[in-house]
Amino acid sequence: MSPRRPAPWTLLLLSFATFSAASDLRSELTLPGVSSFFPGDPGYANATRAFNLRFTLEPVAVLYPETVHELANIVKIGKANHLRVSARSGGHSYVANGLGGENGSLVIDMAKFTNITVNPSTRTAVIETGNRLGDIALALNDYGLALPHGTCPYVGVGGHASYGGYGFTSRMWGLTLDNILSINLVLANGNITKASKDINPDLFWALRGAGPSFGIATSIEFSVFPSPASVIVFQYNWHLDVEKAATALDTFQKFVVQPSLPPEFGAEIVLTRGAIAGNVSFGLTGAWHGDPSLLNSTVAPFLAAMPPLNAVTFTGGNWIDSVNFLAGSTLNTSSAPDYTDTFYAKSLMTPEASPMNEAARTAFMNGLAYEGFTSNTSWFFQVELYGGANSKINSVPTDATAFVHRSSMFTIQFYASSFNNAPPYPDAGFKFLDDLVGGITSNSPKGWDYGAYTNYMEDKLVDYKQRYYGSHYPRLLALKRKLDPTGVFDFPVGIDD
């Protein structure tokens, strides 16, 4: 028997009730001095555009507060209306978490929180979380100071510092989150508070590794560093077949654990499509922050164990020159619009105690050389050096922050875009990356303790609790139940049940 169809007057009442509820919410969220965009408004489509165009989401509203009290009031309204509330710092979440990760979220854009206050004598800086990395680098450089962070200038510091924050200075200075002294934030109940090692220490622990699940950071106080007097950006490149590429990756694994490797050496292996099927373009890229005369002798043992080079480039200059070069675009994010992409990304954090074995490395390179050569995507993969001898990242005790992967050698970022950087994303692109990661993990020893990097968050990771948070998840979940029991700040891959 077919279900009975509602009478027309019932549908009309339901439609009216929905309209009335939306109208009431709009009235509540229309606050003096707060810019806002609701569905149907001019500008709503632009305000809800995701960095990754695979995602098209429809928040109930996007609001742009200017003060902490305005932000807190918005959170209270969201909680009262049983909405998921999400803060957007730079908007570069790979899975659109800045838009709530699903339809019907309430988005608080931090774009108007852009103050930066620097104290050169204490080497500290208070940075509001609407700032982008490029603008932060420029502001600190005016004082001869710097902060470890990634190379993309348009990434917002709020999310970047919440989940990690890796850059070529991280072996020397740590992750971005390792240099946080205190955080001003708004909790899920709308309360305004602060967290540091002395104030709300449990919350401070959680915010450094899983921050967006616990609050909206409005400003962060960082320790900052005197910028290096000079920096050399180096780029070495080889064209290798599968066997030689797999061996080259092992050569790098063995090189970075040598006790003499200085922390001033920041590097990654960059893997791109080979010139012919069966080959891989294998590059070593990074930045040297030490005495310029010592770079060649530092890299010499690695180069001596490698095949002949295809090309090599050195780019020297001062600190901000290197940041600008590695950014590949302007550091002043107000001078040019941000870009978008259509892509799928994954990550794999490899344990230093158990480097990738021959079978895993061969499966990885075989996938690049053959499936990667024919892939209908534009791809690159970065094997970022976290560990190795004298790494500041791995010298931090595992339980010091919620960031759990303190014993990683590499974080591998797998990134593949549609050829025209626009939708639709090809179905085969998902399989390509899933096959690569699966080839590594399935050829590794049983119980291989690999992880995933939360700043490269993905939407298809089944065991995300273990891979992102590891042994810290139970503690995070207990704190989540205490501070945000109704899930105001929940995400699809956040801290929840």
Two tokens, residue 65:
């507060």
Rounded-to-integer distance, Cα 47 and Cα 77, Å: 20
CA distance 364 to 252: 15
Is residue 277, in this structure, part of any structural domain at all? yes
Q: What is the pLDDT of residue 22?
A: 75
Q: Tell me which DSSP letter residue 147 carries.
A: -
Indicate the residue among 178, 208, 227 that finishes a domain: 227
Q: Residue-wise over 97-119: b if at least 16 C-beta within 10 A, else e?
A: bbbbbbeebbbbbbbbbbebebe
317-330 pLDDT tens trace: 999 999 999 999 99
Within this chain, do residues 99 and 126 fall inside the same structural domain, yes or no? no
Predicted confidence at residue 497, as pLDDT, reads 66
pLDDT on residue 9: 52
Domain range enclosing 452: 231-472
Angle CA 407–170–323, to nearest 5: 150
At residue 110, the pLDDT reads: 98
**Residue-by-residue DSSP string for 447-478:** T---B--GGG--S--TTHIIIIIGGGHHHHHH
Residues 207 and 306 in one domain: no
Last residue of a domain, one of 227, 244, 275: 227
Residues 272 and 398 in one domain: yes
Name the residue among 236, 267, 264, 232 with its Cα closest to residue 410.
267
Same domain, 216 and 300: no
Q: What is the pLDDT of residue 85?
A: 98
Give the residue ranges of the chain where pLDDT is below 50: 1-3, 11, 13-18
- Indicate whether 204 and 266 sit together in one domain: no
* Beta pairing, strands 106-109 & 61-64: parallel
